[in-house]
Structure 1
């Protein structure tokens, strides 16, 4: 009787999870149509590294990211066997990050982010709380990826040749020509021409550091990175570096977007651009 009760409860919990309507939808560039999370799990692998390209501090997008992690970890049955790398954490603070992360259930969000990041603008980080909560709930490990800002400033102000050697990851490589062109376009008229290359070198340095730190420190089978979409669009930047230094698992790129941010023309242009990522995850 006890076994039957436990089985019933387990089935009920799974059914409840499966029946909750998703806040996000998945568009497959290969199939050129919307697919379900179940279909997505069938198409991909529990051995994958999913790169979750985002627009920063957008509550709807971070909510969709937390849902994506929760649903895929559950469908792949990988609780306690997944890693989440986060761009906003500095790898030099990994031990401190782990200590604060272990207390997330005990702290209100304001206190948690104050201890984790000591930021001046707590509100900027608040949308990420659901991602970190679901990572903790399902037993994932949190990986700090980035370099300290003061180190990257050396590259911008003095050049790569002035960067102390201990900070240069062994895999550093300047980005592709296409990446540079997209970078120039993104910078627009906000940056003097003579500063484009120093900033681009810092961008490529960041991609290299994050890829190196993830491969070096992640210990779990199923993997996720939460990163700005410019680092992952067109499978360039961070994604290119991951593939360059490790071919042990499939790397699947996902671009998280809000449908309400696009008019019909720009939306049609986006879903016609099959090179930008493997899938779109669409928040309301």
Structure 2
């Protein structure tokens, strides 16, 4: 039996050993760790990316625990949210500063679902007195919607100006995983358009995050984003690293174990043969939801 086979068996046994557990595990070894242990390597200037299932209260509670653990280390914590488009940063600032009432804020940014009650604490977590802030990360919906329907080549000059500087599509392995999740697209051309829109989300968030950290190296930026953007470092983490090789990136994947068998959990936490671990850390827990 060769060493690769032994390694594969070792990983499988490790996954099975922890498949029925809840808690935080190292992505590469599946060994259990404490939250404080995961925070040990986070220093000022770092970005912590947390993948979530939108609308699951347990996931939002876990995100706050991560933020609190960082603050307990004496770190300044800013928060980046996928839900807010970067063109709305002034509205986010006004809301965070208490100038804009929440009802007006949600109306102005056209908040839909899930319930904002789940994300209020994250949006208001940064401490203004220490210079931290809530960062609006995402691209305007009208931009990604047009690209998904008509392609990058049909953007107007005004729409092109909304793209992040030096925009780049995501890597090929990420593209193939994305397309495998979209089996009902009508044509390969449609797949290319939808992946371009997905890449705009990732690269815009990466641009905003890197730009902010370049100007605030004394802080830690915690980004809350949909789980697929985090998995296997293929989406947002990859784009952050492409824009800056000097900013440390730590990723959390929150995995809902509710109703999953041991084999299904083992499959969820397994590393990819080509892309490696799902994330630096895996947070396994049953979660009810989503909350509308």
Q: TM-score range by the shorter chain?
A: 0.7 to 0.9
Structure 2 counterpart of 1:215, from 192, 200, 210: 210
Instruction: String of CA shifts for 1:122-163, please: whole Å, max 9, x gaps.
Output: x43332123224335996311101111111222122211222
Structure 2 counterpart of 1:100, from 86, 95, 98: 95
The answer as to whether partners of 1:63 and 1:131 remain within 8 angstroms in 2 is: no
Structure 1 counterpart of 2:74, from 57, 74, 77: 77
2:191 equivalent to 1:200:
no
Name the structure 2 match of 1:249.
247
Instruction: String of CA shifts for 1:154-173, please: whole Å, max 9, x gaps.
Output: 21222112223312322311
CA distance in 2, matches of 1:37, 1:138: 26
Q: 1:235 to 1:268 in 2, by over 3 A?
A: same
Name the structure 1 match of 2:176.
181
The answer as to whether partners of 2:48 and 2:249 remain within 8 angstroms in 1 is: yes
Deviation at 1:40, TM superposition (A): 1.9
Name the structure 1 match of 2:121.
130
Instruction: String of CA shifts for 1:106-128, please: whole Å, max 9, x gaps.
Output: 96xx737625633244x433321
- The structure where helix makes up a greater share of residues is 1
Name the structure 1 match of 2:238.
240
Cα RMSD between the aligned structures?
2.5
Number of residues paired by the alignment?
Answer: 253
The answer as to whether partners of 1:97 and 1:116 remain within 8 angstroms in 2 is: no
Deviation at 1:73, TM superposition (A): 2.1
User: Which blocks of at least 5 consecutive residues in structure 1 are unaligned?
Assistant: 1-23
Q: 1:207 to 1:143 in 2, by over 3 A?
A: same
What is the SS of the residue equivalent to 1:170?
coil
Deviation at 1:249, TM superposition (A): 2.2
Q: Normalized against structure 1, the TM-score is what?
A: 0.80
CA distance in 2, matches of 1:138, 1:29: 35
